[in-house]
Structure 1
């Protein structure tokens, strides 16, 4: 690998490490929000409102109290632009490209809580869809926090195993996964006649994947025709955007440029492993650094996740594993252990690549580079971006380390670097003093900010 790995751009000062004491205090200050209004909005006298305080939005008092309790001091830039458009009457669709950490979850949750008639707590009025039970549970948690002062707030989790066959969806807000929601509607356990708003999080993944995209389309076909549709994702590739504009017609659009979505607080590194078999030994050498905060190791398959976890445990390293083969309740418990710090190193597949928000994660390791297509023939820039976004949360900084071991993995990572217009810091497997110094510098500066919460709040 040494003969061609040096071709990856080497900056004079490594990306994110040039001046380690200068940590970005609030990442959302680093980008501008581009707004594209739908045709329906073009002729209005005041086509675009922008707010600087939550009070200006006319939110219910209980929702304002919830935002304050969550330490949201003022709207983030995305919220400033998105909330007036999403809350305007008559309701209008929205397509928003906005990474986690910019306030997107709070934006659509605030909209949902403001749209729901809380005098009808047992009538489903809002549906929020996510690609995994973990993300659905996380959204449910955010709704509970922001809506904590609403006396009649009710949330139904429409995820596998949560609602028995003789049960009913009888809360005014429903959070779930597409397949389970579709089944509940078909079995007449879920009355959708009064739904006012549909939110799809991680929409690029939800609309692009064959199975999920099909299920989302079928769910939408069962809903009221005048329902407000809000699509959120960190990335919207062109082909997905075409489908999204058809799925949510006449939608206002909010976008961030791709290079602004690369998470400036993350120092993106790569480890040039001599061979595929050497990756495991290098991973174990990094174990001490993984425990400074919390770490996520992403691998390609469930089988390799299990094998690496078993091998590391046998070698005396405490690690846990989570993937789609686990039962729902077990997945919930494993993620909760990771959130609370009982488990500090988690091996997983792409099931946790999207949206999962664990503030203590200081390191992400791409043991296997994300690939897509038949035979995994092409690099997957969007999944790489989502994976590394699990660190650098809440205005902190973090580290991502991607393993390369052959020409195919090098070419894939180089292509990702070109797509995102980023520089990558090289780590040397034969110089552990330098490697530890580089990684520790970033992680310790991240830990120094552990009590910091940005004005825009989480997610």
Structure 2
């Protein structure tokens, strides 16, 4: 993909984050459990963080799997935006944003979104793959500017995410002056008794539901495209799932339904099947292929001071571009950062008490090489792609609430290295029999051997990690 693409325009929105972050509710871990003492992973905050730090489309190596509603229908994909036969003003807007050619998910999703007669779609897509631009393009293509009523409705789980989507639509629709956009978000009070003339409405479920039912600003029967973004975040947020279903029930059977989610756990599937009848499905095949480019090791230690010594030996003997170190608690992350700084390392700390914009600033500094080591809790295990990361260290191994290996988190953590076909190293600190059991569980789950490493033997380290 082109590196010049700008999908998200985060800089304009710093000023209101401090006052608007209260909309973000869920405090569950990535696997749905509550963490006792670890940093909580907030799915909505993580999604927003990923949007803020993306400056280009992710060069995703995952294969896209397409399941068509009608298997006899020819499967179309496109390699250029011209093939989509877009209106000239819209094509101009696409190129003005810096898009040169469709991303992998856009190649398959856009022909389905723009098909006539309309087709429903359930799509799995991580942040940065171009899905916001894809459904924005679909909505802008879909509306009839001559009709002065709401035709496309998009709901997102938070105020900030809704604004991010709206910003993409505004940029892409820059040369389509007759297409108007309204934000169905808290604080945007509308006069009762009027009907909205904006063809596209982006909002959060509670406000949009009020606009459809209590205030009757929108006529749900006239909606012909319904987009539900970040479905996995939506159903993890109190009340949003039910509000989304109540909005959906008011729409006609002919309304085109598009649903997007970064993950496809069973709960997301059940929700998707409830709101999207007869869908085409686009899924990403699992990320486990990334393990092929990552050498995995474990180091036996007695306590945190031993771990720290091993870490210093490891870092001193490797020519490392950048390293990412994961701890289970904020307290441990702070201790490790302080000690690494004393040793003269340029260290950045990322943990959950920071605001989203503070985290984005830390990641920008790290990405630009101002700090070579990033110490973090689970808030950073998903989706942050820094090409120069060659070493990931699990200072604390990831475990679930029952004390067993958290394999998904392990995969996300070590997947921060070995990106884009580069080789990477993952080193796990083992400080107890229980930790060794976790390593064995991870080996069995991924069917990969994790090699023992003696960080005090420089020759052995160099031969194993060469």
Partner of 1:283: 311
Name stretches of at least 5 consecutive residues in structure 1 with no aligned partner: 1-25, 176-180, 442-459
Partner of 1:95: 122
Does the 8 A contact of 1:273 with 1:429 survive in 2?
A: no
Does the 8 A contact of 2:136 with 2:169 survive in 1?
A: no
Partner of 2:259: 230
Does the 8 A contact of 1:36 with 1:253 survive in 2?
A: yes
SS at match of 1:321: strand
CA distances 1:280-336 after superposition (whole Å, capped 9, x unpaired): 322333445788333322222223222322232234322121222113432332233
CA distances 1:402-454 after superposition (whole Å, capped 9, x unpaired): 33333333333333343334343443323234435655x5xxxxxxxxxxxxx
Q: Could you say if the C-alpha distance between residues 145 and 433 of structure 1 is closer, same or farther in structure 2, counting changes exceeding 3 Å?
A: farther
Answer with 67-76 or 408-417: which moved more: 67-76
Say which of 16, 26, 36 aligns to 2:67.
36
Partner of 1:198: 227
> What is the CA–CA distance in structure 2 between the aligned matches of 1:126 and 1:361, rounded to whole Å?
40
SS at match of 1:357: coil
Give, in angstroms, the shift of residue 106 of structure 1: 1.4
Does the 8 A contact of 1:369 with 1:412 survive in 2?
A: yes
Does the 8 A contact of 2:64 with 2:104 survive in 1?
A: yes
Partner of 2:8: none
CA distances 1:75-125 after superposition (whole Å, capped 9, x unpaired): 55544333322332454443334567xxx72144223233235979xx895
Q: Could you say if the C-alpha distance between residues 75 and 310 of structure 1 is closer, same or farther in structure 2, counting changes exceeding 3 Å?
A: same
> What is the CA–CA distance in structure 2 between the aligned matches of 1:156 and 1:346, rounded to whole Å?
40
Partner of 1:430: 456
Does the 8 A contact of 1:132 with 1:351 survive in 2?
A: no
Structure with the greater relative contact order (CA < 8 A, sep ≥ 6): 1 or 2?
1
Q: Report the TM-score, using the length of structure 2 for normalisation.
A: 0.64
Partner of 1:347: 375
Say which of 308, 314, 317 aligns to 2:345.
317
Does the 8 A contact of 1:299 with 1:366 survive in 2?
A: yes
Q: Could you say if the C-alpha distance between residues 404 and 145 of structure 1 is closer, same or farther in structure 2, counting changes exceeding 3 Å?
A: farther
- In the alignment, is residue 412 of structure 1 matched against residue 438 of structure 2? yes
Q: Could you say if the C-alpha distance between residues 138 and 172 of structure 1 is closer, same or farther in structure 2, counting changes exceeding 3 Å?
A: closer
Within 5 A, what are the aligned runs for 1:68-107? 75=102, 78-97=105-124, 105-107=129-131
SS at match of 1:377: coil
Partner of 2:78: 51
Partner of 1:338: 366
SS at match of 1:105: coil
> What is the CA–CA distance in structure 2 between the aligned matches of 1:251 and 1:334, rounded to whole Å?
40
Cα RMSD (Å): 4.8
> What is the CA–CA distance in structure 2 between the aligned matches of 1:198 and 1:411, rounded to whole Å?
44
Say which of 378, 383, 394 aligns to 1:366.
394
Partner of 1:112: 136
Answer with 317-326 or 399-408: which moved more: 399-408
Does the 8 A contact of 1:112 with 1:126 survive in 2?
A: no
Partner of 1:7: none
> What is the CA–CA distance in structure 2 between the aligned matches of 1:304 and 1:273, rounded to whole Å?
18
Partner of 1:22: none
Q: Report the TM-score, using the length of structure 1 for normalisation.
A: 0.65
Give, in angstroms, the shift of residue 267 of structure 1: 0.7
Q: Could you say if the C-alpha distance between residues 255 and 90 of structure 1 is closer, same or farther in structure 2, counting changes exceeding 3 Å?
A: same
Name stretches of at least 5 consecutive residues in structure 2 with no aligned partner: 1-57, 191-197
Answer with 295-304 or 68-77: which moved more: 68-77
Give, in angstroms, the shift of residue 174 of structure 1: 5.5
Within 5 A, what are the aligned runs for 1:144-155? 147=172
Say which of 243, 249, 252 aligns to 1:218.
243
Q: Could you say if the C-alpha distance between residues 157 and 254 of structure 1 is closer, same or farther in structure 2, counting changes exceeding 3 Å?
A: same
> What is the CA–CA distance in structure 1 between the aligned matches of 2:307 and 2:176, rounded to whole Å?
53
Does the 8 A contact of 2:389 with 2:416 survive in 1?
A: yes
Aligned residues: 387
